[in-house]
Amino acid sequence: MTQSPATPLPPPKERRRLRQDASLTQAQVAVRLGVSKATVRAWETGRTTPDGEKAEAYAQLLASLTSLTSLTSLTSLTDEPVHQGDGPAVATAAAATAVRTAGPTADTERLPVTDAGPDPHPPPKPEPAAEPLTPAQAFDALYAFCAPGLVRQTYVLTGRRELARESVERAFQLAWQRWPEVAVDRDPAGWVRAAAYEYALSPWHRYRRRHRQPEPPPTDLRDRTLMNVILQLPPPYRRTLLLYDGVGLDLPETAAETEATTPAAANRLLYAREAVASRLPDLADPAHLQRRLGELATTERLRAARPLAVRTGGERRAQFWTRAAIAFTVTLIGATALTLRTAPTQYEPPVAPGETVRGVPPRAAPGPLSYAQLELRQKLRQAAASGPERLIPEAR
């Protein structure tokens, strides 16, 4: 007989929502509970139900996530002003930090939910909300939470270390330029991950001189073989495999991030798994493939740049393109003014093309001479050209 946990479990959809609100992946929850990621996915979809100690630990973890969500909602009702661009990102970073530091047995943070009426022993009131973070501090918290793992993911996606670092930096620079939009996004980490993947898989990198030179492969033969198999997949299939089996997203989330339908994402995933299993039969099991992808991402020591360097680099890039646009506009205005200055002020009609004059006979060209004309020319040539005989008329 299955023993019910002391803390009731919420419905499957509520379990998934609580995990997503805390910016936790299924792999992170699985590590905390000591189970596999497939087990957590089955719990969230309702296919299976935890029991025993696992059920109690899972219920306590969900209760702590519920308390964090309640604290976030209570914080937004305080009298302290909150900037529009700071709230969601600060809440996401704070929730993720609190979940990582809190244990599954934090009974003091549980908010009991009953249908019989108000709890006779209500939980203690939360402390007053701290001073809201500045946009720079919120950005640094998001960068410190996402950048190290995102660099390793991008390396598995592309097989290039420098391109992985550059893609992550460009994605976070774009996020800093659009921080009001990213801050109010439901999943800031997913926004940055999608931007990094799009930049890393851009086909224009093949024309770069640095991209034409191959990078040294992984030292381990197994890692090198797996990397070659992954890089032989088409980019959409490779991205789908990494998001589902590497990052731990669900199939609808994977389809949404890859801008595909759920059946198309499922077909891509099955094709990618079959391609990997045909080359590496020991990875036919999805659980083994997920573990090997994690090992492949952690073998390389890839470090991301500091948040301050990323922010200042993005600001310098934005200033450069702004000044370039201003310079181009000034040049265009100057060229237009010079054209107006040197252009003629009066209208000069163009010369009309020539027309054929009718009624005038065409000028005849000299033709062949007749016999009489030829005799006359011969006679004139034989006559004296000078002398008195030319002045005396001849008698007839």
* pLDDT per residue as tens digits for the range 173-221: 999 988 999 988 888 999 999 999 999 999 888 888 877 777 888 888 8
| Residue 332, pLDDT above cutoff 90 | yes
Structural domain for 77, as ranges: 12-109
In a domain, 339, yes or no: no
Residues 55 and 175 in one domain: no
In a domain, 251, yes or no: yes
In a domain, 5, yes or no: no
In a domain, 366, yes or no: no
Residues 294 and 147 in one domain: yes
Residues 103 and 170 in one domain: no
Q: Which of 177-186, 348-357, 364-373 shows the highest mean pLDDT?
A: 177-186
Residues 175 and 258 in one domain: yes
Kindly report the average pLDDT of the chain as a whole number. Answer: 78
Q: What is the count of structural domains for the chain?
A: 2
Residues 150 and 264 in one domain: yes
Rounding to the nearest 10 degrees, give the CA dihedral for residues 12, 13, 15, 20.
Answer: 150
In a domain, 219, yes or no: yes
Residues 37 and 176 in one domain: no
Residue 241: both structure tokens together = 């495999």
Residues 153 and 271 in one domain: yes
- Of all residues in the chain, what percent are helix, strand and coil, respectively (each to 5)? 65, 0, 35
pLDDT, position 204: 86
Half-sphere exposure of 68 (CA within 13 A, CB side): 30
- Where does the pLDDT of residue 136 fall: very low under 50, low under 70, confident under 90, or very high at 90 and above? confident
Residues 75 and 143 in one domain: no
Residues 141 and 102 in one domain: no
| Residue 95, pLDDT above cutoff 70 | no
Residue 176: both structure tokens together = 């800093």
Q: What is the largest CA-CA distance in the chain?
A: 165
In a domain, 194, yes or no: yes
Residue 316: both structure tokens together = 């310098």
Residues 98 and 246 in one domain: no
CATH number for the domain spanning 79: value is 1.10.260
The amino acid that residue 234 corresponds to is P
Residues 295 and 193 in one domain: yes
